[in-house]
Amino acid sequence: MISLNINNKTYSLEADADTPLLWVLRDIVGLVGTKYGCGVAQCGACVVHLNGEAVRSCVTKVSRAIGQKVVTIEGLSEKNDHPLQKAWLELDVAQCGYCQAGQIMAAAVLLKENKQPTDADIDIAMAGNICRCGTYLRIREAIHLAADIQQKSKKR
């Protein structure tokens, strides 16, 4: 029996310590917003936050998450109102949508560490997240918009 803190909730569950965190999230806990893409940390579809860092849950053993803080796309905001989620809706970023949870979770780390990223900063931060539909330009625009939303909400 292991205990995990996911989206500020404690889960006690049975899982082998070597099980990838992704499978625990999807198959045991039922949080299916995080997607399986490549299984070898090459695409970014499975990005979740582990203590605030954008880890790839397909190669992260669940043992690494014990006693740590895991946040998935479902827990990024309480009312789906994170600046990135607002911007994503505003600009209709997603096409098929499969990679978008990973894109948003990666972008959230960027915005936390760089409040007004340039195009170059965005390209560096997001280079590990692949989108088969090629929504990269909308993703970049949405991150700029989310940075503005974040700034405005802080000024209020």
Partner 1 sequence: MAKRYYWPKKAIFLITTLLIFMVIVMSAFDREVPYTKDDQTHDSIASVTAFTQVYKVLMSPRCMNCHPSGDVPLQGDDSHLHTMLPRRGKDGKGLYAMKCTNCHQPENTPGVRTPPGNANWHLPPADMKMVFQGKTAHELARQLVDPKRNGRKNMAQLIAHADDDLVLAGWNPGEGRTLPPISHAEFKKAWLTWIRNGAFAPAP
Footprint on this chain of partner 1 (rule: CB under 8 A): 40-42, 47, 53-56, 59-61, 64, 105-107, 109-110, 113-114, 121, 124-129
From 36, 31, 41, select the one nearest 7 (Cα to Cα).
Answer: 31
Please report how close the Cβ of residue 104 comes to partner 1 at its closest, in angstroms.
11
Please report how close the Cβ of residue 56 comes to partner 1 at its closest, in angstroms.
5
- Complex with partner 1: residue 28 or 38, whichever CB lies closer: 38
- Complex with partner 1: residue 126 or 145, whichever CB lies closer: 126
Instruction: State phi, psi for 48 to the nearest 5 degrees.
Output: -130, 170
- Complex with partner 1: residue 9 or 151, whichever CB lies closer: 151
- Complex with partner 1: residue 96 or 127, whichever CB lies closer: 127
Place of tokens 């931060």: 125
From 88, 80, 76, 140, select the one nearest 112 (Cα to Cα).
Answer: 76
Alpha carbon of 55 to those of 1, 34, 77, 102, 134: distances in Å? 23, 12, 18, 10, 22
* Token pair for 148: 């503005």
Please report how close the Cβ of residue 51 comes to partner 1 at its closest, in angstroms.
11
Q: Sign of torsion, CA 120 38 66 102?
A: positive
Please report how close the Cβ of residue 41 comes to partner 1 at its closest, in angstroms.
4
